[in-house]
Structure 1
Amino acid sequence: MANGGSVPEKVAWILVRDGRVLVTRSHGRDRFYFPGGHREPGESDGETLVREIDEELRAVIDPDSMVHFGTFDIGEGHPDHGPFRMICYTADHSGELTPSGEIAEKAWFRHADRDRVSAVDALAFDALHRAGRLS
């Protein structure tokens, strides 16, 4: 965690196509999440995103194409969990989006599907919708 461990963080990938955004669901979970994950000690956001997307979807992120989309926080005592911070980036990739063993399912969601994602992901869904990127 880049913030000294005070708030758990995830680095997430935002991939939008045709008004839908890519989400994944882990085995044993009901909610969908943006692909990505937690930093390993000493990793930058770019290194984390490259590693996590390779692990989860067997795709290669181009770190030079990463653009910060937004940082989203939920506070202490939130019904899902809290506090929690998600740092979101768009980025180009190469390779097919093939779920690994840790991913049960990938899907392409519209804004209307936001009730199927975690609370922090729903904040990003709203920002994508306000920006006209998510139908």
Structure 2
Amino acid sequence: MVNGNGVPEKVAWVLVRDDRVLVTRSHGRDRFYFPGGHRELGESDAETLVREIDEELQATIDPGSMVHFGTFEIGEGHPEHGPFRMICYTADHRGELTPSREIAEKAWFRYADRDRVSAVDAMVFDALHEAARLS
């Protein structure tokens, strides 16, 4: 979905455990991404995150625990794709993190794995590292 300025947006979940962050890889892709996805018409960020995490990892996000971690954007003309904005939240969840059919793999990355994620995801890695949450 795009915002009012025509910039595509994704709502993403940032889950850090033991100095590692959760990422997923879709079938047919080489890069890993933060779990989440695009809003459906009329959805709030919380509704989007709850739906996407259920679809991708079969877990239930607690919307009351969501905290905005940051909004990260790459601009027009970026070699990977641009413009693009990712709105990131931390949140508690219930249930095992079990990849669905659309997810080929889940992984727990350290900062050293930064080169295996997309450009906008790498910005989140940098922010986590600067906040001493990712080693």
TM-score, normalising length from structure 1? Answer: 0.98
Q: What percent of counterpart residues are identical?
A: 86
Structure 2 spans left out of the alignment, 5+ residues? none
Residue type of the partner of 1:75?
A: G
Give the match for residue 40 of structure 1. 40
- Corresponding pairs, count: 135
Structure 1 spans left out of the alignment, 5+ residues? none
Moved over 4 A (4+): none
Give the match for residue 4 of structure 1. 4
Residue type of the partner of 2:124?
A: A
Deviations 1:18-39 (A, max 9, x none): 0000000000000000000000
Deviations 1:98-134 (A, max 9, x none): 0000000000000010000000000000000000000
Q: Separation in 2 of the partners of 1:5 and 1:64?
A: 28
Q: How does 1:1-135 map to 2 (within 5 A)?
A: 1=1, 3-4=3-4, 6-135=6-135
Q: Separation in 1 of the partners of 2:95 and 2:57?
A: 9
C-alpha deviation, 1:4, in angstroms: 1.7
Deviations 1:44-97 (A, max 9, x none): 000000000000000000000000000000001111100000000000000000
Q: Separation in 1 of the partners of 2:104 and 2:3?
A: 30
TM-score, normalising length from structure 2? Answer: 0.98
CA contact (8 A) 2:2 2:8 kept: no
Q: Separation in 1 of the partners of 2:73 and 2:103?
A: 24
